[in-house]
């Protein structure tokens, strides 16, 4: 009855195939019709699967469909099989739903691009890989999807490869991700050697029986997997590729580097919640890394001047929130934020794309301003996105962010310090997002006359996805209203079958009053962020300049993103180059070449000696034959 879920990843694969093989002969209309139809069908099937799933009783909401046996050797066997449960159904809806909107948006945004068909091929391929990642029922399929989305990310960041910077950004993303993937695959190896299987269900069943709470193996597995997550989801220390990834087309930034691919790490941890729950140390690491990333990236976002870079740092920061959520064992809260974030961050990126489109390619917010009069629809939707991400009560971001902050405070794995870091980061988020909005849409018009003359609202194919996403950013949070606010927290209960409770410390109970208090505090901090932003960029526009001059050192440090890129360049890139040079000049030249040349030399000397036997006189050879016969006869006789 669930056999049809096999088609969900199949449609984008077919789309990729058609556009990839025949795309260069298709008209633009045909190209996007194929791509959008493929993903649209996937979305409809996902939607149907979702509704069918919620019509089942909660304990029956885990469905596995085997397609075929992929690898079967000795005691290692892997099936190509798909898993449909609350977690993957949410991911399916996010990936195909947001992906569908972004495909439509791309029709308008990429309209003039000469490699139109290539773009949609990659986009479909990405969706296919992402669906494999979230639907596979074993770690190998997750890994295949994991690498597939990495490949598509690389291809799409470097989509405009004529510019060397873009190609380099793609390479950087790929290399940094490889480092993470290295840890990820080691984690999978360790899972296989420990449990003898890599199918989720078997692994998790065995984990609860075999591994002790807080044991070394569980900790090692989860930390290795988390290394993969830091690469893919841009957490400290492997976040450096994401800001550079903004070199790609804006729909790509929205789909891959905001809404879906970068959340793969969160999905992975939520999927492996059994293992993480067994390893409190790893949970601590995840939560700490998440919280620090949330704060650190937020500070870097404060002063960026590129509209997409601000959003990129914001994405890193929000991903940090998700990791904070899953790191305090509040898996549903993390995935809830993943979902709402997908709505409003895709909205913000697409809005930014619409702004860039209107400005004729300009991305520097210092050269914008007052745009709300020219592109009102974009402004309205972008503003809704800003309100949502800043945590305005009633919008999607508020519920999910607040759930995470509350869990960071109250969960047995949580800590008030984590809550504090999260709340401060929320204030910064509010500041930089309103700064972005004010600088772009309000205040003086700082662009030149020529650009100003050409500002135009984007076509409907771009505006309509914006509106739908804006609507989702408003209502998306209402599926998870916390109980303290009189809601049922449906999201959490829906998520329940995915999570297995193992060896957890006793739940502490806090009063609702405390929850209200914390909620009010975080909203208060966000309001402070808004007010500072308002003072700086609307009421008193020369104030930031004065502040910049009085704190020049700090400004420079943050503006240059703490020089992390430079440090990495110096330590790792130059280190690798230095090591490579050393190995080349010493090891390769002396040892490897020495062995090869030595062998040749020995053969040469031997040959030089032996060649003297070849006199060229037949009689000499005949003497040899004769002597040989004499010797043989001698042996026979004596």
Q: Which residues bind another protein (CB under 8 A)?
A: 611-619, 622-623, 626
Contact 386, 487 (CB under 8 A): no
Q: Closest distance between another protein and the C-beta of residue 623, in Å?
A: 6
Of the two residues 75 and 609, which places its CB atom closer to another protein in the complex? 609
CA dihedral sign of residues 122, 127, 133, 135? negative
Of the two residues 554 and 603, which places its CB atom closer to another protein in the complex? 603
In angstroms, the CA 496 to CA 270 distance is 11
Of the two residues 72 and 620, which places its CB atom closer to another protein in the complex? 620
Of the two residues 567 and 626, which places its CB atom closer to another protein in the complex? 626
Paired with 73 in beta bridges are 76
Report phi then psi at 197, rounded to 5: -155, 160
Q: Which residue reads 């070449």 in tokens?
A: 593
In angstroms, the CA 491 to CA 563 distance is 40
In angstroms, the CA 69 to CA 591 distance is 47
Residue 16 CA to its chain's centroid (Å):
21
Of the two residues 417 and 629, which places its CB atom closer to another protein in the complex? 629
Of the two residues 616 and 634, which places its CB atom closer to another protein in the complex? 616
Q: Closest distance between another protein and the C-beta of residue 171, in Å?
A: 55
Q: Closest distance between another protein and the C-beta of residue 619, in Å?
A: 5
Q: Closest distance between another protein and the C-beta of residue 610, in Å?
A: 8
Q: Which of 554, 568, 565, 566 is nearest to 303 (CA)?
A: 554
Q: Closest distance between another protein and the C-beta of residue 144, in Å?
A: 59
Q: Which of 359, 371, 388 is nearest to 473 (CA)?
A: 388
First to last CA, the chain: 90
Tokens standing for 483? Answer: 């109980």
Q: Closest distance between another protein and the C-beta of residue 629, in Å?
A: 10
Q: Closest distance between another protein and the C-beta of residue 573, in Å?
A: 55
**How does 164-177 read in b/e, with b if 16+ C-beta sit within 10 Å?**
eebbebbebbbebb
Of the two residues 57 and 616, which places its CB atom closer to another protein in the complex? 616
Q: Closest distance between another protein and the C-beta of residue 597, in Å?
A: 24
Q: Closest distance between another protein and the C-beta of residue 620, in Å?
A: 9
Q: Which of 297, 256, 205, 207 is nearest to 564 (CA)?
A: 297
Of the two residues 539 and 612, which places its CB atom closer to another protein in the complex? 612
In angstroms, the CA 309 to CA 317 distance is 12
Of the two residues 571 and 627, which places its CB atom closer to another protein in the complex? 627
Of the two residues 1 and 618, which places its CB atom closer to another protein in the complex? 618
Contact 132, 10 (CB under 8 A): no
In angstroms, the CA 385 to CA 392 distance is 10
For the chain, state the CA radius of gyration.
30
Q: Closest distance between another protein and the C-beta of residue 583, in Å?
A: 41
Of the two residues 511 and 609, which places its CB atom closer to another protein in the complex? 609
Q: Closest distance between another protein and the C-beta of residue 616, in Å?
A: 3
**How does 89-125 read in b/e, with b if 16+ C-beta sit within 10 Å?**
bbbbbbbbbbbbbbbbbbbbbbeeeeebbbbbbbbbb
In angstroms, the CA 477 to CA 45 distance is 23
């Amino acid at each position: 009855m669930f056999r049809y879920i096999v088609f969900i990843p199949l449609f984008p694969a077919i789309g990729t195939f058609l556009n990839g093989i025949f795309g260069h002969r298709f008209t633009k209309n045909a190209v996007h019709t194929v791509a959008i139809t493929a993903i649209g069908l996937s979305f409809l099937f996902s939607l149907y699967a979702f509704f069918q799933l919620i019509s089942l009783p909660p304990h029956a909401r885990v469905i596995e469909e085997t397609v075929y046996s992929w690898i079967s050797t000795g005691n290692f066997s892997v099936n190509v099989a798909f898993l449909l449960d609350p977690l993957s159904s949410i991911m399916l809806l996010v990936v195909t739903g947001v992906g569908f909107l972004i495909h439509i948006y791309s029709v308008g945004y990429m309209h003039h691009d000469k490699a139109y068909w290539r773009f949609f091929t990659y986009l479909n391929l990405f969706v296919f890989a992402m669906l494999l990642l979230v639907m596979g029922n074993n770690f190998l399929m997750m890994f295949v999807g994991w690498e597939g989305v990495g490949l598509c990310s690389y291809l799409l960041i470097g989509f405009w490869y004529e510019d060397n910077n873009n190609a380099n950004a793609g390479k950087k993303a790929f290399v940094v991700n490889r480092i993470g993937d290295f840890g990820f695959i080691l984690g999978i190896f360790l899972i296989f050697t420990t449990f003898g299987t890599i199918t989720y269900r078997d692994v998790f069943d065995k984990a609860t029986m075999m591994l002790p709470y807080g044991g070394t193996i569980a900790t090692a597995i989860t930390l290795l997997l988390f290394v993969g997550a830091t690469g893919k989801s841009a957490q400290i220390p492997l976040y450096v590729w994401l800001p550079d990834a903004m070199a790609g087309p804006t729909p790509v930034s929205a789909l891959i580097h905001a809404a879906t691919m970068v959340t793969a790490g969160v999905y992975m941890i939520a999927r492996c919640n059994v293992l993480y729950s067994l390893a409190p140390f790893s949970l601590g690491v995840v939560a700490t890394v998440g919280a620090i990333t949330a704060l650190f990236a937020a500070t870097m976002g404060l002063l960026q001047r590129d509209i997409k870079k601000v959003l990129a740092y914001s994405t890193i920061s929000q991903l940090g929130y998700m990791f904070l959520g899953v790191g305090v064992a509040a898996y549903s809260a993390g995935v809830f934020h993943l979902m709402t974030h997908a709505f409003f961050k895709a909205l913000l990126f697409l809005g930014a794309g619409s702004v860039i489109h209107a400005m004729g390619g300009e991305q520097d917010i210092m050269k914008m301003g007052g745009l709300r009069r020219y592109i009102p629809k974009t402004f309205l939707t972008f503003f809704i996105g800003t309100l949502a991400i800043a945590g305005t009560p009633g919008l999607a971001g508020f519920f999910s962010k607040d759930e995470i902050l509350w869990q960071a405070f109250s969960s047995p794995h949580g800590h008030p310090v984590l809550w504090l870091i999260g709340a401060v980061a929320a204030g910064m988020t509010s500041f930089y997002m309103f700064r972005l909005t004010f600088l772009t849409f309000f205040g003086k018009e700082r662009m030149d006359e020529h650009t100003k003359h050409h500002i135009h609202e984007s076509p409907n194919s771009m505006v309509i996805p914006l509106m739908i996403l804006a609507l989702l950013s408003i209502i998306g949070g209402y599926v998870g209203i916390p109980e303290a606010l009189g809601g049922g927290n449906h999201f959490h209960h829906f998520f329940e079958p995915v999570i297995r409770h193992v060896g957890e410390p006793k739940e502490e109970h806090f009063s609702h009053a405390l929850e209200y208090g914390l909620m009010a505090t975080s909203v208060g901090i966000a309001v402070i962020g808004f007010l500072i932003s308002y003072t700086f960029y609307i009421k008193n526009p020369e104030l930031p300049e004065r502040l910049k001059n009085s704190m020049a050192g700090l400004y420079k440090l943050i503006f240059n993103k703490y020089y992390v890129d430079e440090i990495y360049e110096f330590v790792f890139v130059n280190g690798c180059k230095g090591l490579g040079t050393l190995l080349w000049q010493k090891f390769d030249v002396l040892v490897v070449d020495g062995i090869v040349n030595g062998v040749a030399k020995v053969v040469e000397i031997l040959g030089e000696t032996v060649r003297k036997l070849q006199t060229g006189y037949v009689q000499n050879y005949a003497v040899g034959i004769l002597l040989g016969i004499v010797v043989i006869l001698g042996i026979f006789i004596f």
